[in-house]
């Protein structure tokens, strides 16, 4: 079970931040949402999801809260903090720049 590379890890962080930017979500929902939004391309393994969530929480970018879920069970809901929003904006900008650049090269060649 290899560790995700830095790029993937960083990307996963961004995806998580983006996903929960709209509303607080629990882990399973985050995974599902990413999968759906990427058109089933990105399958987030729990193996990387939860460490990522904990890491982001440690960084102070997201915060967690136990709440009743749609099934009536208690679940841990993650939401963005102010610092997390700033981080998300910075990373999105960075990502856009990077992907645009890569896109340029890929399409030109």
CB of 100 to another protein, least distance (A): 29
Token output for 42: 């990105």
Q: Which is nearer to another protein, 11 or 102 (CB)?
A: 11
CB of 58 to another protein, least distance (A): 6
Distance of CA 1 to CAs 4, 6, 56, Å? 9, 15, 21
Token output for 17: 């931040």
Question: What is the binding site for another protein (CB under 8 A)?
Answer: 1, 26-28, 31, 45-47, 50-51, 54-55, 57-60, 66, 69, 71, 73-76, 83
CB of 84 to another protein, least distance (A): 11
Q: Which is nearer to another protein, 38 or 66 (CB)?
A: 66
Q: Which is nearer to another protein, 54 or 97 (CB)?
A: 54
Q: Which is nearer to another protein, 73 or 106 (CB)?
A: 73
Q: How far apart are CA 38 and CA 63, in angstroms?
A: 24
DSSP track, 37-88: HTTT-----HHHHHHHHHHHHHHTSEEEEEEE-TTSSEEEEEEE-HHHHHHH
CB of 80 to another protein, least distance (A): 14
């Amino acid at each position: 079970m290899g560790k995700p590379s830095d790029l993937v890890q960083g990307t996963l962080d961004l995806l998580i931040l983006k996903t929960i930017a709209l509303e607080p979500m629990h882990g399973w929902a985050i995974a599902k949402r990413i999968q759906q939004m990427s058109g089933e391309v990105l399958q987030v393994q729990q193996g990387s999801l939860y460490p990522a969530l904990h890491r982001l929480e440690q960084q102070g970018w997201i915060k967690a809260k136990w709440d009743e879920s749609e099934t009536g069970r208690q679940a841990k809901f993650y939401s963005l903090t102010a610092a997390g929003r700033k981080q998300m904006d910075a990373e999105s900008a960075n990502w856009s720049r990077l992907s645009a650049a890569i896109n340029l090269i890929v399409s030109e060649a």
